[in-house]
Amino acid sequence: MSAMSETLLELREISCARSDGSLIFSDATFDVKEGDVLVLRGKSGAGKSTLLKCIAHLNVYKGEVLYRGRTPKAIGVPLFRTRVLYVPQRPSLLPGTPKDFFNTISSFSARDPKGSRLSKKGEQTPAPDLNQAVEVGRSFGLDDELWDREWSSLSGGESQRMVLAVAIGLDAAEVLLLDEPTSALDPQSSNSVETYLTSELKSPDSTLKAIVWITHSEEQGRRVGTRFVEITPDGIREEPNVPEV
């Protein structure tokens, strides 16, 4: 293995405009390295969700995003999106069941147009396993039967945990882009999500290597974060690491 803290993402002068041409934010330039939990903060409407969607190539933007030194287009956008996975805050508009959703995304992850360049040397990328996602769901307190329910029939907190269980169970993402992942959860469920994600990140066998995490909770930010980036109208700045109290 090469040295620790490999660079996974490089953002270079990302800016994003509204349809009227006014800028939502500009000059987002930072790297995401292995082991980072980069907490993204800012007022409501500052552009946090928009920035995550730009990183995932789900929004039109100016500037450049590189994943392991390559552009999303060079990798193939559907595959790139499984490696750098945006996890929405509200999945309620999805059609079908969580199981359907898992299978649809699995098919993107299996479709690897550039062959083995992204997988570990000599290894075939294994097909995602629904059982693994169901396992993760159990650790978040989700009953197995929920996988066959329509998204629209799940509670806000159930669907929020379900989307996370899918994202982790796919076992394809090296970087998760989490958009207020526990906003609808009670403290206990929220804690199980935090614990699961941070221990996954520390496990050497895990595919997951870094997280960009939007939260409005200072406390949660302090519990999970290793780096802190704030979006303000004046620009995007990284804050010095606040020492543990």
Ligand X SMILES: Nc1ncnc2c1ncn2[C@@H]1O[C@H](COP(=O)(O)OP(=O)(O)OP(=O)(O)O)[C@@H](O)[C@H]1O
> By the criterion CB under 6 A, which residues form the site for ligand X?
18-19, 24, 42, 44-50
Select 18 or 62, whichever has its Cβ closest to ligand X: 18
Select 59 or 192, whichever has its Cβ closest to ligand X: 59
Q: How far apart are CA 95 and CA 12, in angstroms?
A: 35
Select 19 or 188, whichever has its Cβ closest to ligand X: 19
Select 169 or 221, whichever has its Cβ closest to ligand X: 221
Instruction: Report, in Å, the least distance between residue 40 CB and ligand X.
Output: 9
Instruction: Report, in Å, the least distance between residue 183 CB and ligand X.
Output: 9
Instruction: Report, in Å, the least distance between residue 18 CB and ligand X.
Output: 5
Instruction: Report, in Å, the least distance between residue 46 CB and ligand X.
Output: 4
